[in-house]
Structure 1
Amino acid sequence: MKILLIEDDALLLGGLQKALEQQQYCCDVATSIKKAQQHTLDDYELIILDLGLPDGDGLTLLKQWRQQGCKLPVLILTARDSLDERVKGLDQGADDYLIKPFALAELLARVRALMRRRFEKTENSLLFGSLKLDMTHHQVWLNEQELTLTRMEYAILRRLMLHPGKTVQRDRLQQDLYDWHDDIGSNTLEVYIHHLRRKIGAGTIKTIRGEGYRLEQQEE
């Protein structure tokens, strides 16, 4: 599960990122509104948002996202501890509100609670032909037989199944691998694509030369 963490305090940012990754969350970071806007929200399951950012108020960004139809759960971090400020944040679209300073254990508990609520409201499985992928439990089935995939194979397949029949750029897939590896070789993506093809069918993943890869239905 992937989280976008928006916080300008470098010390707090580093500590939160490390703690979240130790809990098996993938975590991208941004230190300003401008940098946060460069991320594609469809890539995430949750946003952790500081309000006091160097180039503006995080609530302005949250309001903009909600107006654009973003439904991701948002956990606000802030030093603003008045009741009026908390009410304002919730009215602008926040799902939860945590006052600084806070205990790390409480933040992690709130993250887990927001994730549970999100998955209880939505069908968290992806289907493509005879493939089924469960994003909650990281399980994959082909023709109702469970497959054994590595974390990297799962990450690639999940990304492709989120965009069935559409070309997913190489850079996007490689970024998913960086979430699990610090050192990605030039041919790492091709290696995992090769392994995936052996498990789900050689014709299921098509190479789009110069662009990326695309899931396609195999002919009977």
Structure 2
Amino acid sequence: MPAIAAATGISKENLYKWEKGTKPSDVELYNKLNDYLDKMERGFNHIMEDAKLNGSKKSNPNPRSLLTGIFIAEDEEALALTDELGVPGNIITLNDKPVLIARRNDSSIIGSVDGLIQVNGDSIDPRYTSGAWIAVKKLRFTKILNGGFYYYVIDKNLQGILGKVRPSVENNSITLFADNEHNEITRNMDDILAIFSIEAVITK
């Protein structure tokens, strides 16, 4: 939401109201949002088409890597990865260090992010279904979080959890939850390896 608000000039308050089903009072603003989301979708489809195209060019000895490896527990430069190493959203170990596999972001519409990953399995929020794509950005300061915003959290079990965040009643913990608040997961901050902000979401 903050990224969309910054890109479109539409207030976050309006965006949150519309997301919850409130009818827009300003049709022009709503059309502006639709135009922005259409451009974002076209940019994402362009990335996917490039992926298919580059994947079919087996004869190219030095194809530009479409995947990037984001170090989870260390602040190191991301790695260019080959497609054989896995699927965006999976976590692998390279040189005894956990790495999140992501698709490189070439879309200026999405903005500056570390990469795009797929939601694998069931998230605690039903809107983020398996197969949806999220654009993620690793946080340098994990204790500075905005309550009620979506984050992607990776714990020491190398499990990725996507949900809204709020401070937990337990000290030094956060709780991830969905709007229906039926599903909640609490993690101690000492058991968290990395937290990523969600900068954009692309659903099927």
Task: Give your verdict on TM over 0.5.
Answer: no
User: Which structure ranks higher in relative contact order (CA pairs < 8 Å, sequence separation ≥ 6)?
Assistant: 2
Larger radius of gyration: 1
Which structure is higher in helix share?
A: 1
- TM score, norm. by length of structure 2: 0.30
Question: Greater share of strand residues, 1 or 2?
Answer: 2
Give TM-score, length-normalised by structure 1.
0.29
